[in-house]
Amino acid sequence: MFQRVLIANRGEIALRIMRACQELEIETVCVYSTADKDAPYLKNADEKICIGPGPSKDSYLNIARIISAAEIADVDAIHPGYGFLAERADFSEICRECKIEFIGPSPEAMSKLGDKIEAKRYARAAKVPVFPGTEGEIEELDEAVEVAAEIGYPVIIKASAGGGGRGMRICRNEASLRTNVAKAQQEALAAFGNGGVFVEKFLEHARHVEIQVIGDKHGNAIHLWERDCSMQRRHQKIIEEAPAPGVERKKIERVCEAAAKLIKSADYCGAATVEFLMDGQQNFYMLEVNTRVQVEHPITEAITGVDIVKMSIQVAAGEKIPYKQKDIQVKGHAIECRINAEDHTKDFRPSAGLIETYRAPGGLGIRIDTHASAGYRVPPNYDSMIGKLIVHAQTREAAITRALRALNEFEIGPIKTTIPLHAQLMQNSDFKKGGVDIHYLERLLKD
Ligand code: ADP
């Protein structure tokens, strides 16, 4: 096992990783920017190293500074968390060159699955259901037009190297497809340095269902079942739950097994998520593979009892996954509410600043993953998510009741948070029924 791990991240996920390391008796070194210098979570680290000023490009995204910190602190491994450098194959590669273990996939596995066209190829081979569309990158416009006519409009043009919802164009007819392919290629080249684009069927109404998987260095991979993350705004997940309500178990089981096979075929080590859209007939279509731990991993931990962060460290250190697939049973229902420092009544305007009042809920089935507390000043520099409320109960209904009870106890002020929005959503009859689609929240907010 590692002796010392550097955490190349901040906030709640840095704290989550430190806690996992402490339970594995690993020393932690946490890097921080000057914007985070007074953050209380840094006290949980054995050592902290300043890597630069607030702007991410000068600190959390600065590979040279992070590697220098790792060398000064003499760590064996780096955990990237999510966001920042987590999905950068070049970072994984540099770590390897510097003989520091990257806690996550190898640069090769990350490149295979991080590229949307490559990932689709691996997915087809592993019998993971994908969107119908062009097989690879578009070379001839006529070929794309032919494929679109076959699968039917609307279609979506996507960049192979795209990410963060960028580089996508929806086309509702042939004329639009003909004018947009070249534009999308130019845009993709400028934005991602790779002009490869492809076309696939565009699904109007869908749910977002994703599968948690994990692989080790011995050729093993298992899945930890699914999460439903359909409650979104601008492609940002707001609420996640596991398992996905109303989905036929036989169907999901097949998709889960294929997802595990997919990462196994890519020689993938670590935690990954295979994301899907699911249509009204419960057909699944793969969106992409996220090659890192996700914000919403705790709901999977709640229903399976598996510590995903700890296991990702163990497999990086060369240990075998300590479970067989049949050991992973779903127990109860879990819901996560992302607590963002935003004013949802003012178009989700960020609300950074000093937290004066902080009172957290507790009791059976409540978990709070946060770096916030009274006296903590939320810096304006980063993502607005300041924590997550995760509830677990025997049934979905009980989980919703418990979440509402917890949200009513939760007090954070005077900064604005999304707690009141979550309390409203827990009482929403459509959410209670289960199975809202990915545009539901935006429609609701418009009314
Ligand atoms: P990115 O890597 O940029 O996040 P994704 O492939 O994950 O790109 O797509 C981002 C979002 O765009 C999805 O969550 C979904 O809402 C929408 N989307 C992508 N592909 C399709 C599709 N084929 N049909 C309908 N919506 C899609």
At 447 the pLDDT is: 85
Which residue's entry shows tokens 């990410």? 163
Cα(418)–Cα(212) distance, rounded to whole angstroms? 26
As for how many domains the chain has, the answer is 3
Cα(227)–Cα(300) distance, rounded to whole angstroms? 7
Residues 14 and 94 occupy one common structural domain: yes
DSSP 8-state assignment for residue 219: S
Residues 176 and 231 occupy one common structural domain: no
Query: Which region, left, alpha or beta, applies to residue 367 given φ > 0 means left and ψ of -120 to 50 means alpha?
Result: beta
Residues 165 and 240 occupy one common structural domain: no
Predicted confidence (pLDDT) per residue in 248-307, tens digit: 999 999 999 999 999 999 999 999 999 999 999 999 999 999 999 999 999 999 999 999
Residues 324 and 257 occupy one common structural domain: yes
Confidence of residue 320 (pLDDT cuts 50, 70, 90): very high
Q: Does a structural domain hold residue 87?
A: yes
- In short, whether 54's Cβ falls inside 6 Å of ligand 1 is no
Residue where a domain terminates, one of 146, 175, 201: 201
Find the domain containing 41 and state its range: 4-103
Q: Does a structural domain hold residue 390?
A: yes
CA-wise closest residue to 185 among 169, 203, 170, 174 = 169
Cα(73)–Cα(132) distance, rounded to whole angstroms? 49
Give the global pTM: 0.97
Ligand 1 pocket mutation pick from 110, 118, 166, 168 by most atoms within 8 angstroms of CB:
168
At 166 the pLDDT is: 79
Q: Does a structural domain hold residue 154?
A: yes
- In short, whether 204's Cβ falls inside 6 Å of ligand 1 is no
- Please compute Rg for the chain using Cα positions: 22
Residues 93 and 180 occupy one common structural domain: no
Predicted confidence (pLDDT) per residue in 73-125, tens digit: 999 999 999 999 999 999 999 999 999 999 999 999 999 999 999 999 999 99
Residue pair 243/211 in contact (Cβ under 8 Å)? The answer is no
Tokens representing 14 are: 């840095």
Residue where a domain terminates, one of 87, 103, 119: 103
Residue pair 154/171 in contact (Cβ under 8 Å)? The answer is yes
Residue where a domain terminates, one of 144, 172, 201: 201
Residues 375 and 433 occupy one common structural domain: yes
Mean pLDDT of the chain: 97
21 membership: H or E segment, kind and range: helix 11-23
Q: Does a structural domain hold residue 166?
A: yes
The neighbouring-strand residues paired with 338 are 388
Question: Residue type for 223, please?
Answer: H
Whether the bond between 40 and the residue before it is cis, its omega within 30 degrees of 0, is no
- In short, whether 311's Cβ falls inside 6 Å of ligand 1 is no
Q: Does a structural domain hold residue 23?
A: yes
Predicted confidence (pLDDT) per residue in 356-377, tens digit: 999 999 999 999 999 999 999 9
Query: Which region, left, alpha or beta, applies to residue 15 given φ > 0 means left and ψ of -120 to 50 means alpha?
Result: alpha
Q: Does a structural domain hold residue 407?
A: yes
408 membership: H or E segment, kind and range: helix 396-409
Residues 97 and 186 occupy one common structural domain: no
Tokens representing 272 are: 């990954």
